[in-house]
Structure formats: C-alpha cells, structure tokens
Amino acid sequence: MAGMSVETLDFSTANPLTIDADVVIVGAVSTSDGPRLHAAAGFEWLGDALAGIGASGAPDRLVRVPGNGSAAPVVAIVGIGDAATVEALRYAAGSAVRQLAGTGRVVFAFPLEDDAAAAAVAEGAALAGYAFSAEKGVSSVPEPVRSVTVAVPSAPAGDVAERAQVVAEAVHLVRDLGNTSASLLYPEEMANRARAAVEGLPVTTTVWDENALERDGFGGILGVGRGSVRAPRLVKLEYSPEGATRHISLVGKGITFDTGGLSLKPAGSMVGMKYDMLGAATVLAAVVGAARLGVPTRLTAWLCIAENMPSGSATRPGDVLTMHGGRTVEVLNTDAEGRLVMADGLVAASAEQPDLILDVATLTGAATIALGKRYTGVMGNDETADTVVSLADAQGEPFWRMPLAPELRAVLDSDVADIANAKIGHREGGMLIAGHFLNEFIGTRPDSAESIPWVHLDIAGPGDNGEAGYGFTGKGATGVAVRTLLSLAEQYGRA
C-alpha cells in the first residue's frame, strides 16, 4: 500500500488514567452555558478550566494540556459539538487522531454508554489514521497515530475493532489510489492494482484489454481512451458468497487523468484530474471491504478505466460512438467523457439482471456548483435512492437526492445518433442532464418494461479535499461513499 494506517486498534476496560500512552483524549460539548466536559471519571479537574484554556467544544477544536497525574503526559480535549451523538463521536475521534499525527499511542477516555458509541469512536480513529508519503522525496509526512486504545466500561460484542480496521483500510485504498500521480496510475496499472487488492479474497477478476474491448463492443471506453498512448481497461470483480440471494452491481468511473480530450480543459481546471478515477476506486474498495467482512450479498463491480488525452487519434467532437449493446452516442463534448465509459459499464451490468445497479463517479463540475464540496449528489429511478441517502446519513456522509427533471431529457436529443453526450452552451442542470444520460443505459427486467432499480452517486465534490482537514478527513482523496456502500450491501444481505 502506498499510504500508512493505524497499526493497532483495540478496546480496554482498564481505567484510562492508568493506561500507558502518549496522549489521553477527552471531549468537550458545546452548550449555551459554555463548554461541558465529556470524559470518563477522573478528569473532573478539567471541567471548570475548559473555557480558560480555549476548549470551546466546537468540532475540530483540539487543545492540549499536561496530563496532571494520568499515565499519559498529555491530555487532549477535542470538540464534539452540541451533543455526543454516535455521528458526533465518530467525527470527534477522527478529528483528534488526525490532528495528533506523529503521536505513538493514544487512549480515548470518552464516557461510552453502548457498543454503537464505542464502534463509532473506533471507526473514526481508524479512518483518520492515514498518511500518504509514497511520492515524497526529501520532505516527510507525519506518520499517523500508530496505536489507538478505546477505554470502555465493558468489552463490545463482536469484532468491533476488526471491523473498524477493515472499513478504514477500504477507505484508505481509495485514498491511496486517488492520491497517486496519474503518471504512475494509468489504466493498465489501475487494473493491476485492482487485481492485487483482491488477491487472497473470494473475488473473481476479469480484465478486458484494448483488444478484448474491441471484440466485445465497448465503444464508450475505447472512444475515450483512444487519444492516449496508454490503452483503456475494463475490470470486472465478482464476489459471490455462498447462500447470497440478492445481487448488487457497482459501476465506477475510472478516468485516470482527464485533460478534456480535444475539448481541452483550461490549465487550472486540469489540476486535480488525477482524482477522476475515484468512482472506480470506490467500487473496488466496496468489494474488498465486503469480501473481508463476509457480507452475505453478491457484489459485482465494473471498473471503467481510461485516460482522456488529446492527440491525432482522439475522438473528435461530432464523432458517433457505438456503446456496448448497440446504442449510438454523438460526442459533442469530449470533456463529458465519464458518462461514455459509464454507459458501457451500465449496459454490461444490466445484462446480468442484478437487484440493483449503483454507479459512482466524479461525473460533473455542476455537482460542486449545486452542492459544494462535501455533499454527494444522488439520483435514481425509484425509492432505493432515498434508502441510500438514509444509510449515508447514518454513516455521517452527507448525501442529497436530486431530481431527474423530465423536461431536461430533450437536451440530449441528437439528429444523427440515438443520443448526444452533451449540448454545447447549455449550462443549466448539468448534473441532472448527466443523470438522464446514464439512465438511458439502464436495462429492463426480461419479463416487463420495468427498469432495473438504479442509483447514481456524483462524488465530484466530496471525492477529494483540497482544503484544510476536517473530522477524519485529511487533504487529498477522501474515500467518500465506501462506508455507505458497505452498509447498503449489509442491509441487502439481511433482507
């Protein structure tokens, strides 16, 4: 792995004052009367001093003071916000571990009342314990906290710590892939890394190279990738646990670098386009996490991977591509390339008649205009989209459902092909128009005209963070949506 993660994560029923550590972490809740201590017994001496030392209780606010008799030489007070909910505890634990990078061992001394709270603290800490240093030369990156202990009144039921580590490492897989330079992570290499990520797991891998893509008619992936000297790939990952009765297909956009093609982006807009493969990385990580956790739902992931470059062989505006399955697309904007590779994946996924198709893509800049940098735009063809939003809420991932406004479909009408990929000069509703395009490639049930349930996640905003860290999220690729996808797979397995 290119990044670094927390090495050990465990629970202890010992008094947190007596646990050997570099830092012991307590919390502060923000109230109308000022900050209030949220800590296990033995830290009461901090209560009246919080405001004086700057511990406001606000999220991401962290203050260090001497240990005052605890085994740890330092006490860190982290802000929890207005109430110590499960979501707030996850966020606060992550914020503390992120800001304490370079520390050896930390102990959480929150008053945890149940297993859900303990699991949230463990997961937040594990998610935040990440650093990417693979491409540093002379300068260095502070190592993440090496060891995390969560003090609890009684041991949580089940393998809570192991689950937190598995989930965090799945998220970190996305971060590693996204943070890697596009010169090092090109389509063939991303396919190789996907194969390596599932090695030893009960996952079957199939890879289409350029010749196989040509043979099987994947015209969208080929059309986007033809301008690059580095050929495109399609990767299929199949996780089929024994006894699984439901099947989710995951389709991910994997543009390892997006110049816009012949519809060339401005220089400033090209910075950060190494992150345009985060959708494919996300569905890969979801399969890896599900297989490691033994989730009882069949998952198939389609990673649609290409590099969008300008050259003499690149697709031209006005060219018509034939997608997998035969539908034709007039390419009016080569910078609307993600939907072209996704179309091939959605058709291939539909052919297997899964119970649900869910796609993940850094699809549109319009999503960031509408929702900012932290919200994932959600669209879909039935109430499953609302279910996904609810699951995301429980995971502390901000998702927001957007409409598939019917009047916008006509924008994609073409005079020469079945559909156009964009309309030059039409700026309104760009995220929704992209959703309409994808919806055209969702198949129907064999015994009716009813569409296969489909949900689309546009992670163009929250997929990477270019600003200051927050909660368990640092700079760079975030790994957003992985935890929601795992929660969805677990829910389907219980249905």
Residues 146 and 191 in one domain: no
Q: Which of 98, 298, 339, 483 is catalytic?
A: 339
**Residues whose CB is less than 8 angstroms from the CB of residue 302 and which lie 6 or more positions away in sequence, other chains included:** 234, 235, 236, 249, 250, 251, 252, 283, 345, 348, 349
Q: What is the pLDDT of residue 1?
A: 44
Could you tell me the residue range of the domain that residue 477 belongs to?
A: 167-494
Neighbours of 295 (CB within 10 A): 25
The answer to whether position 161 is within a domain reads no
Residues 248 and 360 in one domain: yes
CATH number reported for the structural domain that contains residue 30 in this entry: 3.40.220.10
Nearest to 129 by CA among 76, 167, 155, 184: 167
Q: What is the pLDDT of residue 2?
A: 59
Instruction: Confirm or deny that 209 is annotated as ligand binding.
Output: no
Instruction: Confirm or deny that 335 is annotated as ligand binding.
Output: yes
Question: Is 319 exposed, middle or buried (CB count within 10 Å of its CB: 0-12, 13-18, 19+)?
Answer: middle
Catalytic, 265? Answer yes
Q: Which two tokens stand for residue 29?
A: 């809740």
The answer to whether position 162 is within a domain reads no
Q: Report the domain count for the chain.
A: 2
Instruction: Confirm or deny that 258 is annotated as ligand binding.
Output: yes
Counting as low any pLDDT under 70, the low residues of the chain are 1-2
In order of 197, 263, 289, the CA distances from 173 in angstroms are: 8, 31, 10
CA angle 481, 482, 483 (to 5 degrees): 95
Tell me if 173 sits within 8 A of 197, measured CB to CB: yes
- Beta pairing partners, 131: 4
Domain boundary pick from 127, 156, 185 = 156
Cα gap 175→464, rounded to integer Å: 9
For tokens 């020469």, what's the residue? 416
Residues 319 and 443 in one domain: yes
Residues 24 and 147 in one domain: yes
Residues 329 and 419 in one domain: yes
The model's pTM: 0.97
The answer to whether position 312 is within a domain reads yes
Residues 379 and 409 in one domain: yes
Domain boundary pick from 133, 156, 179 = 156
Residues 447 and 332 in one domain: yes
Residues 181 and 127 in one domain: no
Instruction: Confirm or deny that 82 is annotated as ligand binding.
Output: no
Residues 200 and 272 in one domain: yes
Q: Which of 36, 64, 265, 401 is catalytic?
A: 265
The answer to whether position 470 is within a domain reads yes
Instruction: Confirm or deny that 393 is annotated as ligand binding.
Output: no
Tell me if 152 sits within 8 A of 11, measured CB to CB: yes
In order of 12, 109, 317, 481, the CA distances from 395 in angstroms are: 24, 22, 41, 9
The answer to whether position 142 is within a domain reads yes
